[in-house]
Structure 1
Amino acid sequence: MVLETATAQQQVLDAADALFYERGVQAVGMDAIRSASGVSLKRLYQLFPSKENLIEAYLDRRDALWKSMLASHVDAATDPRSRILAVFEFLHDWFRQRDYRGCAFINSFGELGTVSPRVAELALQHKEGFRQALIQLSTEAGAADPERLADHLILLSEGAITRSAISGSPDPALRAREAAVLLLDASLPS
């Protein structure tokens, strides 16, 4: 039964992830999730008693995936400066994915942030987690004011995420990386 539950839950989350990210969380009903997952509606509601529970699970899953993809790029870099620039290389790779539709947290917040305190909280937590990662990278690189540098870097990153989603081009990550180089030149010890 545990294996069946895990399998059914995985099927539902796979379907929700694909549909919510492609169409938006409000546009996708539980019937569409049921059809795409192959899990009965009764079982779906046993696993996720409400659509809000499913949206939360979707965002939790997206957060873990995003952190994993970011970490693999950053961890592959060898020195502190290149670890910061690896963030923009990660963004460029992410933007080039065939199904890229922007940030799931920004998208979900735009749809539900004013009516769902939990979605707003999850979006804030995700963005603050990214900020904390940038503060850590800035500290490791020797920035005199790591929080300020991280705030500048996050603005570049978030702008690139939004611009890429709207333009359909991965190039905003390259432009943001160029600006990050200038910031690092001005903020890090020689």
Structure 2
Amino acid sequence: MQPGPGAKNRVLVTADRLFYDEGIRTVGVDRLIAESSVTKATFYKHFGAKDNLVLEYIGRRRDEAKALADSISAAADGSLETLRGIRDSIVDDIQSDGFRGCPFINAAAEFADAAHPVRRIVVQHRDWYTETMVELFRGAKHPMSGDAADEFLLARDGAMVGGYEGDAIAATAALIRVTDRLFADCK
């Protein structure tokens, strides 16, 4: 996460770490303030309430995911290579130190109300991800791009959860096997 400098940045960086590592609802404002080394007045000046900080956190995670996909696409030679790059990025993420699952799946689990603004951001992110995968599979000439995108996402979600709660190596190996079968159908 690379927001702007200063006190707001310290709060955002601290929130990103704590919300991802420990969960959004378990981290209180007083702890965020203390670990960010800001005053209550500064916190409330920038965010007004924890809910606003949570929305900024999940929104920034969404923006980072989009920027990563754009970066992979820009460096790739075509849609199939972009798909492989995205898959490889997921594998690297799951096998990294401190991996705690998908921040969007985690946030959705904490905010059960589908009308909550956090859930709306999660759904928007999911819609974007699905549409991006459909377009990439279409560009890679998969005969059933929508189905392939759904299967890719299901495999990704399973690997994210399995990689956090179980064996990261086994979860990523399964993700690679499933996606390789999807990629083999591209022409």
TM-score of the superposed pair, with normalisation by structure 1: 0.88
Letter in 1 for 2:27: V
CA change 1:88–1:34 in 2 (3 A) is same
Q: Does 1:105 align with 2:104?
A: yes
Aligned partners of 2:115 and 2:30: how far apart in 1?
Answer: 21
Aligned partners of 1:8 and 1:115: how far apart in 2?
Answer: 32
Runs of 4+ residues over 6 Å off in structure 1: none
Name the residue aligned to 1:10: 9
Aligned partners of 1:19 and 1:116: how far apart in 2?
Answer: 24
CA change 1:168–1:24 in 2 (3 A) is farther
Give the CA deviation at 1:64. Answer: 1.6
Unpaired segments ≥5 residues, structure 1: none
Aligned partners of 1:123 and 1:154: how far apart in 2?
Answer: 14
Q: Does 1:44 align with 2:43?
A: yes
The answer to whether the Cα contact below 8 Å between 2:114 and 2:120 also exists between their aligned partners in 1 is no
Aligned partners of 2:169 and 2:73: how far apart in 1?
Answer: 19
Q: Does 1:86 align with 2:85?
A: yes
Unpaired segments ≥5 residues, structure 2: none
Name the residue aligned to 1:26: 25
Name the residue aligned to 2:67: 68
Aligned partners of 2:34 and 2:114: how far apart in 1?
Answer: 27
Letter in 2 for 1:135: V
Aligned partners of 1:31 and 1:41: how far apart in 2?
Answer: 8
Q: Kindly report the root-mean-square deviation, in angstroms, between the aligned alpha carbons of the 2 structures.
A: 1.9
Aligned partners of 1:115 and 1:37: how far apart in 2?
Answer: 31
Aligned partners of 1:131 and 1:115: how far apart in 2?
Answer: 19
Fraction of identical pairs, as percent: 24
Q: How many residues align?
A: 184
Q: Does 1:147 align with 2:126?
A: no
Letter in 2 for 1:26: R
Give the CA deviation at 1:26. Answer: 0.7
TM-score of the superposed pair, with normalisation by structure 2: 0.89
User: Which secondary structure state, in structure 2, belongs to the residue aligned with residue 110 of structure 1?
Assistant: helix
User: Which secondary structure state, in structure 2, belongs to the residue aligned with residue 129 of structure 1?
Assistant: helix
